[in-house]
Amino acid sequence: MAAGGSQPILEIRHVSKRYRAAKPLFRDVTFEVQSGEFVYVTGPSGSGKSTLLRMVYRDETADTGSIQFCGKDVLALSSSAIPFLRRNVGVILQDFKLIHEESVYDNIALALEILGLPQREIYDRVRQALDRVGLAGYEDVRAADLSGGEQQRVAVARAVVARPSLVLADEPTGNLDAGNAAMVVDLLEEVNAEGTTVLLATHDNMLIAARPHRTVALVDGVVDEITRGRAVEGVRYRGASQEALQP
């Protein structure tokens, strides 16, 4: 685990969101993520973990509050500025979000094409990213022909190839078996060890326990507890026993 930096890269302040008037998804969510930190956002299904992550890359808006990323309030960004925010944020989703009919190379290169890099540099960086996720030689394979674990590793490569300062991973292990899940988290920890901040949303307590990092829990619409290290005991899900949270 990388040592947390002293500067907050992400400051979430008093963020509230409601889809139905009677029942807010979450309210007054406030926490910080330091530069170079690895942080879990956890909570039961429907607690708003994914929504919170989507707010960070402005795929979703908040009703109130602010989300400062590198000192800029992403919730106040104009629509023309959002693409530039997203170029600094790598996103990994549970369903991998790959373009199935395209090759592994093209899927990863896409993030660099957007930046307008020269083809030579794109080629080198995609090769490096594939080496890093253990898929060297898979350049020409169609994304649809990969296994779930391989697809998620391609998604990780795509998220980090543009060297973003923050990686958001929304249930990246949700569709994977234990072996592949461990491999994906290994990759994210490696990325984090090199200085990239990682915010990982998961409801997998086994994962949180096995790979201890600071954990922000969203329970009943509020930040219930912020724990560090292996101490997930403080996270109290409604109706869940303490035992269920143990690895």
Partner 1 sequence: MMHLGYYLRRTLQGFRNEWTTNLATVLTLSVAFVLVGALATVAVSLGSQVERWGGADQYQVTVYLKPDAPPAAADQLRRALDGMGEVRAVRFVPGTEARQRLMEAFPEESAAWNALDASFFPGYVEIGLDPAIADEDHYRMLVGRIGKLDIVQEVETHGDWYASVLGIHRAARVLAIALGSLAIFATVFVVAHTIRLNFYRRRRQVEVLRMCGATPWFVRMPYLLEGLLGALFAALLALGAITLFVEAVRERLVDVAPVLGASPIEHLPPLAWLVFLATAALIGVSGSWMSVNKALRS
Nearer to partner 1, 89 or 232 (CB): 89
Q: How far apart are CA 85 and CA 143, in angstroms?
A: 26
Closest distance to partner 1 from the beta carbon of 111 (Å) = 5
Quick check: 49 and 218 in contact, CB under 8 A?
yes
**Residue reference for tokens 């629509």:** 79
Closest distance to partner 1 from the beta carbon of 91 (Å) = 5
Nearer to partner 1, 2 or 135 (CB): 135
User: What is the H or E stretch that residue 212 is in?
Assistant: none
Q: How far apart are CA 94 and CA 110, in angstroms?
A: 19
Q: How far apart are CA 198 and CA 10, in angstroms?
A: 11
Nearer to partner 1, 87 or 228 (CB): 87
- Exposed, middle or buried by CB within 10 Å (0-12, 13-18, 19+), for 187? buried
Beta bridge partners of 81: none
Closest distance to partner 1 from the beta carbon of 215 (Å) = 25
Q: 198, 195, 196, 166: which is closest to 185 by C-alpha? A: 198
Neighbours of 237 (CB within 10 A): 19
Closest distance to partner 1 from the beta carbon of 98 (Å) = 7
Closest distance to partner 1 from the beta carbon of 29 (Å) = 22
Provide the binding-site residues for partner 1, judged by CB under 8 A. Answer: 57, 59, 80, 83-88, 91, 97-102, 107, 110-111, 113-116, 119, 158, 162
Nearer to partner 1, 49 or 58 (CB): 58
Q: How far apart are CA 48 and CA 66, in angstroms?
A: 16
Nearer to partner 1, 1 or 141 (CB): 141
Closest distance to partner 1 from the beta carbon of 108 (Å) = 10
Nearer to partner 1, 17 or 58 (CB): 58
